A and B are shown apart, each in its own frame.
Chain A
Amino acid sequence: MLRPYLLLLALLAGCAFGRQDVNEPILAADLRAFAPGKTSAAEVVAKLGAPTEVVQLGRRSAYRYDATRTKSTILFLGLVNFANQDARQDRVWLFFDDKDVLLHYGATLSTHRTQYALPWEDVHEAEDHAARDAARAESGR
C-alpha cells in the first residue's frame, strides 16, 4: 500500500542550482597599478569607480571595494532537503592619509573559488584553490 506514496515521493525529488553575482570582479592588474605613497584617492576612484563603503579613521580614511559570488545547490527530497551555499568575495580596502594619498591596501580575491557542491562534499581544499587561482591568473582576471 505504501508503494504508490513512495513513488509519488520519488517523483517530487529534484535539484536546483543558483548563482548570484554582486558587482564586477576586481582585477588584480588594476590593483598592481596602485603605489602606496604616490597614488591618490582620486586616481583610485577613476580606476575602480565609486567605493562600496568609505570609513573615516580620524584624519585618515579607508575605501572598500567588493564583489561577491554565491553558488547554491539544493537537493529536494520532499520531506527532507539538502542545501549547500558557498560565497566568496573579491574585496579590497585602501587606506589614505589626511591628504588622500594611499598609505596601504589589502586585497582578497576569491570569487573564482566558489563551487557548486552538496553539503557532505569537501570543498575549498588546497589543491582546489591552487588550480582555480592558476586559472584566474592565466585569464588575466
Chain B
Amino acid sequence: MSRAARSLSAALLLAALPACVTGSYDRVHLQEPVREADLAGLAPGVAAFGDCLQRLGAPWRVLEYDVDQDGNSGAALLWTWRDASGWGIQAEYGDDTLSGSLSYDAVAAEQPACVLWFDHRLVLQRWRFGTAGDLLPRRQRPAPFADAAEPAR
C-alpha cells in the first residue's frame, strides 16, 4: 500500500471513529412463533375457542369482530412474533446550526403474524398467516367530538 493510500485510510478511519458512520448487525427474537403445524387439527367450523387457546397459548391481541345489532360479537385473536437479523447503517452529522441523522435498519422488516377469527358462538371460522400490518384493522383517526362550548369540527 502506498504512503498516500495509507494516509487516506487512516484519515477515513479517524473520521469514522467518533461514530459519524457506524454499521451494525442486529438480530431480534420477539415472542413465541406460531407455525402452520400448530394449527393442524384446528378445523374451521369445528374447533372451539378453548381448544385453540390451549393449543396456541395467549394471543398478542384480541379484537372485537362481526358485532351484530343485538350486541353479540365474535372475536379475532392475533399472534405476532419476529426472529430476524440483518445489517443496518447509521450516519450522523451535527454542528451548531445543523444536525441530522440517517439510518437504515434491515431488521425492521414486516412482522409475521397469524389471526384466527371466531363467530358469535366462539367457533373457529378461519385463520390466516401474513404480516401484522396486513392482518390488523387499519388505524383510524380519532372521531371528532363536540361539547356544549365548541361545535364539532
Contact = CB atoms under 8 A, between A and B. Distances in A.
Contacts of B32: 88, 108, 110
A106 B22 contact: no
Contacts of A5: 10, 13-14
B6 A83 contact: no
A92 interface: yes
A58 B72 contact: yes
Give chain B's interface residue range (CB within 8 Å of chain A).
Answer: 35 or more
Nearest to B79: A108
Given A1-B6, A83-B24, A85-B27, A104 B53 contact: yes
Interface residues of A, number: 42
B91 interface: no
Contact of A123 (B29, B59, B64, B75): B29
Main secondary structure of the interface of B (DSSP, over half): mixed
B92 interface: no
A87 B31 contact: yes
Given A58-B64, A58-B71, A87 B29 contact: yes
Contact of B23 (A1, A36, A80): A80
A87 B33 CA distance: 12
Contacts of A126: none
Interface of A: 1-2, 5, 8-9, 12, 36, 55-60, 62, 64, 78-89, 91-93, 95, 103-108, 110, 119-120, 123-124
**Interchain residue pairs A-B with the least CB separation, the first 10:** A58-B73, A106-B53, A108-B57, A119-B27, A91-B58, A81-B24, A106-B58, A108-B58, A86-B29, A104-B50
